[in-house]
Structures are given as C-alpha cells and as structure tokens.
Amino acid sequence: MDTAIPRLNIVLVEDHDILRQMLQQALQEAGHQVVALSCAEELEDVAGGQPADLFLIDLNLPGEDGLSLTERVRAAYPLAGLIVVTARSGLQDKLEGYARGADLYLTKPLEVPELCAAVAALGRRRQRVEGLMAQQQTFTLSQQQMTLAKTGQAPVHLTAAESAMLVAFSRAPGQRVAYWQIAETLGLDLQNYAKASLEVRIVRLRKKLVEAGAEAGCIEAVRGHGYQLCIAVQVV
C-alpha cells in the first residue's frame, strides 16, 4: 500500500494570528506549500494565479463567514480537499459544514498531528482521483492536425483557436487559466476584450470536448478568475 504523503499547495484561512502562524509552520514542516490568510476577502488577492490542492478554513471569520466561503471554494475548486475548523461542535453545525462542501470537520482545540494526518489522507485521495481521471478521460490533442481524440474513439476536428485554448489549459498550473490569458491566446485586445465573448468561445470548446467523449463539466468556470479544464489532455 502506498503511504507516501503528497506535497500539497494549501490555502489556510484563519483570523487568529497565533493559531494561523502555528498551523502554517506545522504544515510547512510537513513539506507543504502554505498561503496563510486572515479573512475570506484576502483570498481574492491570491486565488488568480495560485493553484490550490487543499483549503483549511476557520468558520468564525470576520467579514464573509466561513460557511459562505466554504460553499464558494467548493464551487470554484471541485477537486480540492476542504477542511473546516471551528469551536462549534454541535451536530447541526457539523451537518451544515458538510452540506456546504467540507470534506472534514475538525473542532478546536486542534491537535496538530491529527490535522497533518487529515491533510495527508485528503492528499492521497486527490492523487487517486486524478489517477483515475487520467486513465478514464485521456485525450490526445494533435496540434498539427488540430484534432482531439479520446483513447479508442474517432478524433474531433478543432479550429485553430480551440486548439490554442486547449494547449493553454494543458500548460497552466492546475489547468486553470485567467480571462486575460484566454484573451491573449486568442489574440484579442487585452484592454478591450469582453468576458461574454470569451464565454462564447468556451461554450463552443466545451461542446467539442463533449463530442470527443468528455463529460459536460469538462470545463468549469472559476468565479472572478477564468476557467479550469477538468480532463487530462496530452498535447502532441
């Protein structure tokens, strides 16, 4: 059995300064990359270019509360691990946390070894899920022929713009690209492009992917940032 601990990109949102610093240090000592934030609003400043494998969110945050943030993060990062941490230990609180998208619900005071074990478990789960996705949803993009083919199926022809967008997705961290990156890929004016026009292009590309054998959610919108490709594409 593989017990290796994956090294993860973690976003920690905790308003208590001492606890935030302690958790950040413990996770970094375990080998993870950690971005530590004090409130939900700070997430907007780092989310754009920051790939995230796991979120650790305190529910008692100033401004936007942790439950709202949990729901928003789950929508934007469907494959990420999500742990909520709180002093609320009631059953109804836990049920609400899980309903909003949490994978695990840990109560304070936290035991650091338990937290690190939970992070490692979610990291191993992510590895297994990504491995299965790669096996089941492997697509090959031929740049020369501008075709996309799922293993064992007939290729689907792409436009030059669709091929370029797929290349951009496949090379981006976490297969997430910002609006401006799509515009740049398409040769649009970076000062005057309209997000609505990008959405039209993404809708057309998504239809091509579905035609090639992908699921309907193969490209997901990332609120306030851009889009994420949720299938494995090999570029040749």
Helix axes 112-136, 17-29, angle to 10 degrees: 60
Residue 75 · residue 222 · CB < 8 Å? no
Across all residues in the chain, what is the average pLDDT?
85
pLDDT at 51: 67
171 vs 34, higher pLDDT: 34
Report the predicted TM-score, pTM, of the whole model to 2 decimal places. 0.58
Comparing CA positions, the residue from 24, 20, 214 lying closest to residue 133 is 214
Question: Final residue of a domain: which of 76, 111, 133?
Answer: 133
Question: Final residue of a domain: which of 133, 161, 179?
Answer: 133
How far is 127 from 130, CA to CA, in rounded Å? 5
Task: Identify the domain containing residue 198 by its residue range.
Answer: 137-235
> Are 121 and 199 contained in the same domain?
no
Q: Say how many domains are in the chain.
A: 2
Mean pLDDT over 45-57 rounds to 72
pLDDT digits (tens, 9 = 90+) for 66-97: 899 998 888 777 778 899 998 888 888 888 88
> Are 19 and 88 contained in the same domain?
yes
Stretch among 4-8, 66-70, 129-133 having the lowest mean pLDDT: 129-133
Question: Final residue of a domain: which of 110, 133, 156?
Answer: 133
What's 172's domain CATH number? Answer: 1.10.10.10
